[in-house]
Amino acid sequence: MSKHASSALRTTRTGLEPASRERGLAPGTRIQHYELIRELGSGGMGTVCLARDTRLGRRVAIKFLHTEDPDLTKRFILEARATARCGQENIVIIYEVGEHQGSPFMVLEYLQGQPMKKLIAGQRLPPSRAVELMVPVVRALACAHEQGIVHRDLKPENILVTDSGAIKVLDFGIAKVLQGEEPSLGVATDTFVGLLEDDGEELTRRGSILGTMAYMSPEQWGNGVAIDHRTDIWAVGIMLFRMLAAQHPLGSMGGPQLAVTALLDEPMPRLREVVPDAPPELAAIVDRCLLKHKEERFPDALSLLRALEPFLPGRYNREQRIDESPYAGLSSFQEADADRFFGRTREIAALVNRIHDRPLLAVVGPSGTGKSSFVRAGLVPVLKRSGTPWEALVIRPGRNPLSALANMMAPLVSSSDSVEQDLKERKLLIEHLRNEPGYVGNVLRSRARRKQNHILLFVDQFEELYTLVPDAKERLAFTACLLGIADDATSPIRVVLSIRSDFLDRVPEDEGFMAELSQGLYFLTPPNREGLRDALVQPAERAGYRFETPTMVDNMLEHLESTQGALPLLQFAATQLWESRDPSRKLLTTSAYAAIGGIAGALASHADSVLTGMSTQERALVRALFLRLVTPEHTRALVSADELRELTKDTGEMQRIIDHLVQARLLVVQTGGGATGATVELVHESLIHSWPTLKRWLDEGQEDSGFLEQLRNATRQWQAKKFDNNLLWRGEMVEEARRFQRRYRGELPQLQRDFLDAVFAQEVRATRLKRALVVGSTVFLVLLVIAAAVALVIIRTSQQEAERQAEVAQAAEAVSRKAELMARAAEATAREAELQAKQRLAEVQAKELERQKAQQEAEDFSQQLARANKNLLGSNDKLKSALRSAWWAQQRAKAAKKRAEEMARDARDARRKAEELLRREQERVEELERQMGGIIKELKN
């Protein structure tokens, strides 16, 4: 099946078939306010087309029934009515029902995705994954059953997994209504008008058994037992069995052989007989669904749903430690927290679908949407339980992104035992990555082939590449390495980034990287109200607790829906509630909620309470610490603990403050590997946006924050270049540094103070040098004036002598000019005589040439005359030959004309004979049709 499918078909086509065109379903056809775009699929009984709703501006699928039979039309309307009655998110939506050219149609939501049949593809699924896929289906059945509607043809082909991760149950075309409506349509011999695959197992003609044989319950085989909602529970059991065992309970049986299902005394095989390692409790649920006496199955879909929910991912076979909080607080969820990560089921399913087709993906969203948690605790665990072996590697760019890659790769390629050798190898590895960006991809692909698994590289906080790395060459080298890893969809390697949406416009600095990344952007929006409710309520229920009142939950959700960074605030407030829980009643109480100040005040109250217990000097250090941990772009900065300790001369005191804030869950410390020391950062960006005290500090230090970032970058470069004086500030930056020094009241790290001292010292040296140059220039100018006066006297004397010599030269020049004039006159006379002689010689030569030319022309004329006579004789001969050829051609044309007239007469005779034969054949066909009509009438009677 195509990845893009309608909610009511199994196959796709690129254009309308001629038959559809004959039915008036050509592209561009207007049906009410719908305009047909193209055909999506067609069967013997109906056609499904993609159309646009010109009124609401959306795409829809329109399902046409090719019949004028009132019974079929009635069944079609019943399908629409049954489906529309079930307003549930896992059931396809019916927008409208109408009639076009005498045939009924229904307008459905247009869904893009793939059927569950293709998703499971005959493979054994982990139990949690199988339950994860089936729970939405059971929820849809629960809703339908409440309305008294039974699907009766539930199977993987009728379940669509959309690209957005939703699961939709399709085709209630043979749904049975149990509330007394239209009883004639509720028997097992009704006609099915849905669009079904012709797989040889479906009996859909009038008067035949309904359903798909492999999924039909015993009562559907016509054993005299009435059909009700428990026939759908049987189908759920068959699907679960096939997911867990990769085969039908009856093995390779097919077609009419499956009729053994109707034998009530012949039990179905047990799941653990086929899959001995299946969880016993889940196997018992599947076996109960497949009990042939329907009274022994689950009484309803809701009971089945409650039985399956404990086996959802993260809930099965995990013992919760005593007093362990089910919430993450302000910390990001990690892979180990998958069992308490709720509210993102659809988004995870959507990304899992995309990760198979795209080697490079980016999870994009604003701060506080839980991008890191979504990948770590959502995507990675789902991939690992998908049945395909996956290995997850996680890095953050930090200040040295190539170093982060090298640290990740070092355990994969290192063979050294000593720390010193390990550090040396990592430095060489960094240079190797810079020079050969494809190397890391080769290493990871070799590892995947060797271990026969897939590898997911998660680059968390990708915006650090732009907030913490000032060198564009370093950034481009890092993105080149990522391109070398995620180079093709057939590779076993996938790269997933998480990046804040307001930094997405920085990525195009590497055009090649952006070209690849743009095809794999996944925008993670804040969860909707139901997602927030799941994230709030379900962890507590998993721990055996509940909220004291529903109003309390609604109040929390109302605050969260209008709050930036809702997820971390939810987790933090819920953690505070958990710590004040009532263990005797297993409740999270309203009094505890009021005590923490609600959602809005929980984080601010906690942070302020931490500050309240500190001295004035400690609060000043905390202010400097937090300002250092926020970038000028108001994002979290990843700072080494050594650099933070340099903010004060008493490094021990700063370390104690860091430890205290970590214990208070406001900071997090990560221990680096190899040459990388411990780093410190804010526990979450929501502190930047939701803690008024920090916001005030940032506003007060806004002018200084930009300068401090420039100072840090300049200091690092100065240190990296071994304190090169050419990197020291000059000009306006020196003045800015002096103004900063006058207004700044905090302490700077020693290296930054050394940098500023070197800048100021260089400025002092430059000022002294400038003064020395001014004095020297003045003395030089005085000496230059004296030398100019002496030179002026010498120049004047030389000028007078030059004038006298000029007069003597002028007299000599006059004599020379007269001699030159006389010579020119003699030369002109000689030239005139020479010209006259040349003219006489030219006249003689011209007359001789004219004589020779006249003689030559006479000879040429004689030759031309001889050739003309010869040509005239030849032309006469050719004319005679041509006349003879023309006479023979005329004779042949007359003969051909005569033969053509004879053939025309023969053709007319043959045509008359053919028309006579055709007339006789038509009469015979009409007679046969009249006979067949009579036979059909007799059969109908």
Tens digit of each residue's pLDDT (9 = 90 or more) over 334-386: 888 888 888 888 888 888 888 888 999 999 988 778 899 999 999 999 888 87
Residue 285 and residue 382 in one domain: no
Top pLDDT among 907 and 200 is at 907
Q: How much is the pLDDT for 704? A: 67
* pLDDT for residue 572: 84
Whether pLDDT at 312 is above 90: no
Say if 604 falls within a structural domain. Answer: no
Question: Is residue 335 included in any domain, yes or no?
Answer: no
Position 676 pLDDT exceeds 60: no
What pLDDT, on the 0 to 100 scale, is given for residue 121? 76
Q: Are residues 262 and 384 in the same domain?
A: no
Give the chain's largest Cα–Cα span. Answer: 151
Q: Is the residue at 540 inside a domain?
A: no
Looking at residue 327, what is its pLDDT?
Answer: 87
> For residue 114, what are its two tokens?
């793939």
Q: Structure tokens of 659?
A: 């430890």
Quote the pLDDT of residue 193: 29
pLDDT attached to residue 192: 29
Sort 282 into a burial class: Cβ within 10 Å, 0-12 / 13-18 / 19+: buried
**Percent of the residues in the chain that have a pLDDT greater than 90, as a whole number:** 21
Comparison of pLDDT for 319 and 892, the residue scoring more: 892
Residue 453, phi then psi, degrees to nearest 5: -140, 180
Highest mean pLDDT pick, 175-189, 192-206, 611-625, 810-824: 611-625
Mean pLDDT highest for which of 242-251, 659-668, 848-857? Answer: 242-251
Cα dihedral sign, 870-876-878-881: negative
Q: Average pLDDT in the 66-95 region?
A: 78
| pLDDT for the residue 258 | 84
pTM: 0.60
User: Beta strand pairing status for 113-115 and 159-162?
Assistant: antiparallel
pLDDT tier for residue 44 given thresholds of 50, 70 and 90: low
Could you tell me how many residues make up the chain? 941
Q: Which of 201-215, 471-485, 745-759 has the highest mean pLDDT?
A: 471-485
**403 vs 784, residue with greater confidence:** 403
845 vs 474, higher pLDDT: 474
Please name the residue that has the structure tokens 């089910």: 326
Distance CA 302, CA 185 (A): 26
Q: How confident is the model at residue 674 (pLDDT cuts 50, 70, 90)?
A: very low
Say what percent of the chain tops pLDDT 70. Answer: 83
Task: Give the pLDDT score at 1.
Answer: 37
Mean pLDDT of 86-99: 84
> pLDDT: is 806 or 617 the higher one?
617
- For residue 123, what pLDDT band results from cuts at 50, 70 and 90? confident
Contact (Cβ atoms closer than 8 angstroms) between residue 243 and residue 237: no
DSSP bridge pairs for 390 = 454
Asked if residue 186 has pLDDT above 50, the reply is no
Residue at a domain's end among 643, 674, 700 = 700
pLDDT top residue among 207 and 911: 911
Band of residue 418 on the pLDDT scale cut at 50, 70, 90: low
- Domain ranges, residue 487: 344-526
Is 153 marked active-site? yes
Domain-ending residue, one of 482, 508, 526 = 526
Q: Is 364 helix (H, G, I), strand (E, B) or coil?
A: strand
Does residue 199 carry a pLDDT above 60? no
Comparing 778 with 619, the larger pLDDT belongs to 619
Residues 251, 306, single domain; the answer is yes
| Count of structural domains within the chain | 4
- pLDDT at 170 exceeding the cut of 70: yes
Quick one: pLDDT at residue 737?
77
Q: What is the pLDDT, as a whole number, of residue 815? A: 60
Return the CATH number at 246. Answer: 1.10.510.10
Catalytic: which of 53, 153, 171, 190?
153
Give backbone dihedrals phi and psi of 668, rounded to 5 degrees, phi first: -135, 140
> 516 with 644, same domain?
no
Query: Which of 669, 700, 731 is the endpoint of a domain?
Result: 700
**Residue 76 and residue 168 in one domain:** yes
Taking only the tens place, the pLDDT of each residue in 576-628 is 899 889 999 999 999 988 888 777 677 778 888 888 888 888 888 888 888 88
Quick check: 11 pLDDT over 70?
no
Check whether residue 350 and residue 307 sit in a common domain.
Answer: no
Q: What is the structure's pLDDT at 509? A: 92
Q: Is the predicted pLDDT of residue 563 greater than 70, yes or no?
A: no
Same domain, 299 and 400: no
Cα–Cα distance, 743 to 700 (Å, whole number):
12
Q: How far apart are CA 230 and CA 297, in angstroms?
A: 7
Residue range 533-552: average pLDDT? Answer: 88
- CA angle at 37 for the pair 35 and 38, rounded to the nearest 5°: 135
CA distance 593 to 581: 10
Answer whether residue 129 shows pLDDT above 50: yes
Q: Is the pLDDT of residue 181 over 60?
A: no
CATH of residue 649's domain is: 1.10.10.10
Confidence of residue 562 (pLDDT cuts 50, 70, 90): low
Residue with the larger pLDDT of the pair 323 and 47 = 47
Residue 767 within any structural domain of the chain: no
Of residues 196 and 325, more confidently modeled: 325
Residue 606's SS3 state is helix
* Per-residue pLDDT at 165 exceeds 70: yes
What's phi and psi for 394, nearest 5 deg?
A: -125, 135
Q: Higher-confidence residue: 704 or 518?
A: 518
Residue 274 and residue 350 share a domain: no
Hey, what are 574's tokens? 């819920």
Rg (C-alpha) for the chain, rounded Å, is 47
The more confidently predicted of residues 753 and 187 is 753
Does 486 or 675 have the greater pLDDT score?
486
Bridge partners (DSSP) of residue 670 are: 679
Helix, strand, coil fractions of the chain, as percent rounded to 5: 60, 10, 30
Q: Are residues 189 and 277 in the same domain?
A: yes
Which two structure tokens, joined as six digits, stand for 108? 């459905």
In this predicted structure, what is the pLDDT of residue 826? Answer: 61
Does the pLDDT at position 67 exceed 70?
yes
Least confident piece of the model among 316-325, 542-551, 823-832, 926-935: 316-325
Residue 235 pLDDT greater than 90, yes or no: yes
Let me know if residue 822 belongs to a domain.
no
Q: How far is CA 332 from CA 313, 324, 372, 673, in A?
A: 19, 16, 7, 21
Q: What is the rounded average pLDDT of the residues 308-318? A: 68
Q: Is residue 590 part of a domain?
A: no
Say if residue 507's pLDDT is above 70.
yes
Q: DSSP label at 124?
A: P
Answer yes or no: do 430 and 290 share one domain: no
Query: What's the number of CA atoms in the CB half-sphere (13 Å) around residue 550?
Result: 0
Question: Is there a single domain that holds both residue 296 and residue 379?
Answer: no
* Mean pLDDT confidence for 743-748: 64
Tokens representing 835? 């010209």
Q: Is residue 551 part of a domain?
A: no
Q: Compute the average pLDDT of residues 505-510.
A: 91
**Is residue 568 domain-resident?**
no
Contact 371, 346 (CB under 8 A): no
CATH of the domain at 509: 3.40.50.300
Q: Which candidate, 496, 237, 306, 541, places its Cα nearest to that of 382?
A: 496
Residues 372 and 428 in one domain: yes
pLDDT at 495 (0 to 100): 96
Using alpha carbons, select from 386, 5, 343 the residue that is nearest to residue 161: 5
Q: For residue 894, how many C-alpha atoms fall within 13 Å in the half-sphere facing its CB? A: 5
